[in-house]
């Protein structure tokens, strides 16, 4: 029986948001840079004093019988210049301080460059593989998670947008015996090998290192010491594509690094099931895919930031 987006299927125990991996939460003691507020009146007052001092006579005997102040053209031009500078400074300082603070935060906070790929409530930004709309069954949204609900064939999901150089991060969990993956550099014109797959699997069920979690599926194995968490627990994964360098991360550890189009990668592809897929392993602009392998899989906090997009 199919479930709608607002229904909550029975499944894996949710982890409280306060324990979410790889996230800063309020109250964690992390200091946030706040620009020192500018006080326009103080600065303008000091500027006025400077102008007044400039206007004073050069004769230090101020109790002279002659109270006249020198009004030479040079001195008057200097006073006019200072007044113009003061007016310009006042105009600049009239900019709302909140706007200046926001600008400073954008420049110093790397979190500002991340874009969410899933808002937790709608399928916006995703569609069916080789389709125009989001699948009508098999994928549900519940508890701010995107879930591949078991049973039947729902089909793969792909992003509406395409990416070249990027950093993609997501959290996921599977059931015992589960198997799924995330593909990237996906081309719909290459259906037999649409993209490179970051493997997500119950590692107790696999023997080939190239099929373990965080592998470039069937091509390159991850580092032996980088392990996924047991089924039912959340994992944090990350894919980085920068130039021709690709990295797979798992739970804060670098699991795999390789070079697109390199002789080593081409050799590994020739030894894989993708040996007869022209162009596989080369740099391209493509989509991101959440695969459908038929088992229950939960996704949340999917986000991306574009790097140096060529």
CB atoms within 10 A of CB 239: 23
Q: How many CA atoms lie within 13 A of 174 on its CB side?
A: 22
What average pLDDT does this structure show over 72-101? Answer: 55
Average pLDDT over the chain, rounded to an integer: 79
What pLDDT, on a 0 to 100 scale, did the predictor assign at position 135?
87
DSSP string of 226-249, one letter each residue: --PPPTTS-EEEEEEEETTEEEEE
The sign of the torsion formed by the CA atoms of 196, 198, 203, 208 equals: positive
Tell whether the model's pLDDT for residue 268 goes beyond 60.
yes
Tell whether the model's pLDDT for residue 1 goes beyond 90.
no
What average pLDDT does this structure show over 106-119? Answer: 74
For residues 233 and 242, the answer to whether their CB atoms sit within 8 Å is no
What pLDDT, on a 0 to 100 scale, did the predictor assign at position 154?
80
For residues 21 and 171, the answer to whether their CB atoms sit within 8 Å is yes
Tell whether the model's pLDDT for residue 112 goes beyond 70.
no
Tell whether the model's pLDDT for residue 297 goes beyond 60.
yes
In whole angstroms, how far apart are CA 3 and each of 156, 157, 287? Answer: 18, 18, 27
What average pLDDT does this structure show over 20-31? Answer: 45
**pLDDT tens, position by position, 283-294:** 999 999 999 988
166: Cβ contacts below 8 Å, ≥ 6 apart:
239, 240, 241, 304, 305, 306, 307, 309
In degrees, to the nearest 5, what angle opens at C-alpha 196 toward C-alphas 123 and 261?
Answer: 140
CB atoms within 10 A of CB 274: 19
What pLDDT, on a 0 to 100 scale, did the predictor assign at position 16?
46
Give the pair of three-digit tokens for residue 193. Answer: 């090998």
Q: Is this model's pTM higher than 0.95 or not?
A: no
What average pLDDT does this structure show over 229-258? Answer: 98
205: Cβ contacts below 8 Å, ≥ 6 apart:
177, 179
Q: All domains of the chain, ordered by start, with CATH?
A: 40-59+70-108 (no CATH), 111-306 (2.60.120.560)
Q: First CA to last CA across the chain, in angstroms?
A: 46
**pLDDT tens, position by position, 218-236:** 999 999 999 999 999 999 9
**pLDDT tens, position by position, 120-151:** 999 999 999 988 889 888 899 999 999 998 87
In the 8-state DSSP scheme, what is residue 61?
Answer: -
Q: H or E segment at 309?
A: none
What pLDDT, on a 0 to 100 scale, did the predictor assign at position 293?
87
| Percentage of the residues of the chain whose pLDDT score is greater than 70 | 63
How sure is the predictor about 77, in pLDDT bands with cuts at 50, 70 and 90?
low
How sure is the predictor about 241, in pLDDT bands with cuts at 50, 70 and 90?
very high
């Amino acid at each position: 029986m199919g479930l709608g987006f607002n229904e909550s299927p029975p499944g894996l125990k949710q982890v409280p948001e306060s324990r979410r991996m790889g996230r800063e939460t309020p109250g964690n003691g992390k200091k946030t840079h706040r620009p020192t507020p500018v006080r326009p009146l103080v600065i303008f007052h000091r500027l006025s004093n400077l102008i007044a001092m400039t206007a004073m006579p050069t004769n230090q005997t101020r109790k002279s019988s002659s109270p006249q102040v020198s009004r030479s053209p040079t001195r008057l031009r200097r006073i006019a210049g200072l007044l113009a500078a003061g007016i310009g400074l006042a105009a600049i300082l009239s900019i709302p301080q909140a706007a200046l603070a926001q600008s400073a935060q954008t420049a110093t906070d790397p979190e500002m460059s991340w874009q969410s790929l899933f808002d937790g409530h709608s399928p916006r930004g995703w569609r069916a593989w080789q389709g125009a709309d989001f699948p009508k069954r098999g994928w549900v949204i519940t508890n701010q998670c995107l879930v591949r609900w078991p049973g039947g064939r729902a089909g793969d999901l792909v992003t509406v947008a395409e990416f070249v150089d990027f950093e993609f991060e997501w959290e996921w969990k599977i059931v015992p015996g589960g198997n799924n993956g995330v593909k990237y550099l996906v081309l719909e014109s290459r259906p037999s090998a649409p993209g490179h797959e970051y493997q997500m699997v119950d590692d107790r069920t696999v023997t080939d290192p190239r099929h373990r979690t965080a592998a470039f599926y069937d091509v390159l194995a991850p580092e032996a010491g980088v392990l996924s968490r047991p089924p039912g627990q959340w994992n944090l994964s990350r894919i980085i594509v920068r130039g021709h360098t690709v990295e797979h991360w798992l739970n804060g550890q670098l699991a795999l690094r390789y070079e697109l189009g390199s002789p080593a990668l081409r050799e590994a592809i020739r030894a894989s099931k993708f040996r007869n897929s022209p162009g596989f392993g080369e740099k391209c602009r493509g989509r991101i895919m959440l695969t459908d392998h038929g088992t229950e899989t939960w996704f949340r906090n999917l986000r991306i930031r574009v790097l140096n997009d060529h």
